[in-house]
Chains A and B, each alone.
Chain A
Amino acid sequence: MIELVAAVCAVVAVYAALRAVLEKNTLRKLPFVNVMNFAVAGVIALILPHPLTLAAAIAYFVGATLEANAIASALASRFAPCSAPSDEVALARLTPCSVPSDEVTLARPAPEDES
């Protein structure tokens, strides 16, 4: 029974990994990567029935979801539409979509100022 369960998890992990590789869009890869993480966490627990293996599987899974959240939120802030409430908020998120206004643009000094 354990071999069958491990085989199911392994097949699902390979399928999800292939779908993630074949998908072009990074955000659309994340559901397939999530399926792969589920399958790999199951395989980690199945490969050695020990309490520490359970801790390792949970640590792997939580870390993987944290990474997925970081990737998704980083991409969201990078490609967000230019609707930031203020330039300060946009600057804090490091969004490149905020066009600098005339007030904050550093003007090149005029030639007469240098003389």
Chain B
Amino acid sequence: MILELAYIAAAAVISLILFIALDIFWKLPKEGGVSGADAVSREIVAAGGDKNGGWMLGNIICSPDASAGTLLAACGYWICGVPGGIAAAVLVFIGARICADKGWAGTSGALAAIVVIWALSTFAGFPPEAFIAGMVIAILLVQGISARHASRILGSIWRKI
């Protein structure tokens, strides 16, 4: 039980770092990529949050980005192995195009997650399903506790990088 919880906690930290790094690499905090992201960012700024962090949270909400790619690739890898993860990446790309997004963040997130989950499950003994719970905990930390504080932290990370 303790070991399983440790795997889930470690998977949450790895997923958090992976999707924030990829979202910042694809410049999600730079601007609202879709129209709904602008509205969410304005609301977060009105609540005392940061504009760049708000854009990133808005983009996560309004289109499948690297966080969605990581979760769905973890689901695909758990169900069908690497082919399932690749199928999830393709479907995430199609879904992002439906949401009028470019789709690179979601697809690259899914592909990066496949590599990370494959490496950790093969060489470090991680169960692949730990990444499903890990990604849910990671998105809870970013979106579900306090959007104001999360947007400030994400905005400061964006400005430093």
- Hey, which bits of chain A sit against chain B, CB under 8 A? 1-2, 4-5, 8-9, 12, 15-16, 19, 25, 27-28, 30-32, 34-35, 38-39, 41-42, 45-46, 49-51, 53-55, 57-58, 61-62, 65-66, 68-73, 75-77
Residue pair A30, B64 in contact (C-beta under 8 Å): no
Residue pair A51, B8 in contact (C-beta under 8 Å): no
Scan B1-41; emit 1 where CB is below 8 A from any A CB, else 0. Answer: 10011001000000000000000000000000011111110
- For chain B, the count of residues having a C-beta within 8 Å of the partner chain is 54
Interchain residue pairs A-B with the least CB separation, the first 5: A72-B36, A62-B95, A76-B39, A45-B75, A69-B62
Residue pair B99, A66 in contact (C-beta under 8 Å): yes
Residue pair A73, B84 in contact (C-beta under 8 Å): no
Bound complex: CA A51 to CA B8 (Å): 23
Q: Is the interface of A mostly helix, strand, loop or mixed?
A: helix
Bound complex: CA A77 to CA B35 (Å): 9
- Distance to closest chain B CB from A89 (angstroms): 14
Residue pair B64, A72 in contact (C-beta under 8 Å): no
- Hey, which bits of chain B sit against chain A, CB under 8 A? 1, 4-5, 8, 34-40, 42-43, 47, 57-58, 60-64, 67-68, 71-72, 75-76, 78-80, 84, 87-88, 91-92, 94-96, 98-100, 127, 129-130, 132-133, 135-137, 139-140, 143-144, 147
Residue pair A75, B39 in contact (C-beta under 8 Å): yes
